[in-house]
Amino acid sequence: SARRTVDPDQLAEQLLSGDRRALARAITLVESRHEADRAAADTLLQKILPHTGKAIRIGISGTPGVGKSSFIERFGLYLTAQKKKVAVLAIDPSSTLSGGSILGDKTRMEQLVRDPNAFIRPSPSSGSLGGVARRTREAMLLAEAAGFDVVLVETVGVGQSETTVAEMVDIFLLLLAPGGGDDLQGIKRGIMELADVVVINKADGDLLPKARLAAADYRMALHLMRPRHTDWQPQVQMASALLNEGIDAVWTTIEDFRSKLEKSGALQAQRRHQAEGWLWRELQDGLLDWLKQDAAVASELPKLQKAVGAGKATPHAAAKKILGLLGK
């Protein structure tokens, strides 16, 4: 075919010089499913790995309508005004089903997208959540190698994608709307437990009293939960993306989190633990692919699955048989 092959060494050099277009091309490379591209991507990643890790990695989640893109735009502009380089990446679980992308949509952050110190990349639009997550994690490393100081990973508040994002970031922000006690029921406890910082957005105008009540409710709720870090009690803050209020305070909290956890070593430990966790996930995925590609397994597995479904074989016995096929 006439596909252009990428020179990973050259791309690495351009990336390390901070070239935004090189970053875009590098991310396209790691997102590619062509085998030759994957080999080039692996070479590239290995090359830039020593230059990663300097950014603060921030996860940000919230249900649609809560003001995520408005908040990220204000937050991003606040940071670029302080001469920081900001990358916004997204993991959108719905895009893996629909093939479209709602998050990280550039038209939703009109000002930030024009900022030369910002880089916005929508969610990869195909593949399993695991595949999308892997590519986003790699994009994060690429952004760090390109000299970005802050990497934001945006996702939508639906559950599994939050856990995935929490496994690649340093700090997890949960954006909520004012609403207080009633809303509290609607938010999955599991998501609340991931939050290092809860931001009540839309704390403005008529919504301000409600926002205050909500903040008190969430503070109480968080106190009853076991904190994720021994040296960090989750914080609840109010903000208004509309009025550009409380944005700086959120950044101060993030810096506070970072310095506390760096000092205790918890941040480094978390990153090490996360990277090792990704190794195991890669191994699991790789083994499963390998298993499914085996001819003997392919012919036996459907029968055994049926037998398990019909209650004629135990899952354990069936799995043992399949693994036995690989051992031969």
Binding site for ligand GDP (CB under 6 A): 62, 64-70, 201-202, 204, 240-242
Residue 218 near residue 198, CB atoms below 8 Å: yes
Total Cβ atoms within 10 A of residue 141? 22
- Tell me the residue ranges of DSSP E strands in 10-117: 56-62, 86-91
Pairing of strands 150-156, 171-176: unpaired
The span from the CA of 153 to the CA of 48, in Å, is 20
Shortest Cβ distance from residue 110 to ligand GDP (Å)? 12
Shortest Cβ distance from residue 280 to ligand GDP (Å)? 32
Q: What is the DSSP letter of 122?
A: P
- The residue (of 117 and 155) whose beta carbon lies closer to ligand GDP is 155
The span from the CA of 196 to the CA of 208, in Å, is 23
Shortest Cβ distance from residue 317 to ligand GDP (Å)? 48
- The residue (of 69 and 80) whose beta carbon lies closer to ligand GDP is 69
Q: How many residues does the chain have?
A: 328
- The residue (of 140 and 175) whose beta carbon lies closer to ligand GDP is 175
Shortest Cβ distance from residue 185 to ligand GDP (Å)? 20
Total Cβ atoms within 10 A of residue 209? 11
- The residue (of 66 and 261) whose beta carbon lies closer to ligand GDP is 66
- The residue (of 20 and 74) whose beta carbon lies closer to ligand GDP is 74
Kindly state the helix (H) or strand (E) to which residue 80 belongs, with its residue range.
helix 68-81
**Which residue number is nearest to ligand GDP in terms of Cβ?**
67
Shortest Cβ distance from residue 100 to ligand GDP (Å)? 15
- The residue (of 195 and 241) whose beta carbon lies closer to ligand GDP is 241
Tokens of 51: 């230059």
The span from the CA of 281 to the CA of 101, in Å, is 25
Residue 155 near residue 93, CB atoms below 8 Å: yes
Shortest Cβ distance from residue 125 to ligand GDP (Å)? 18
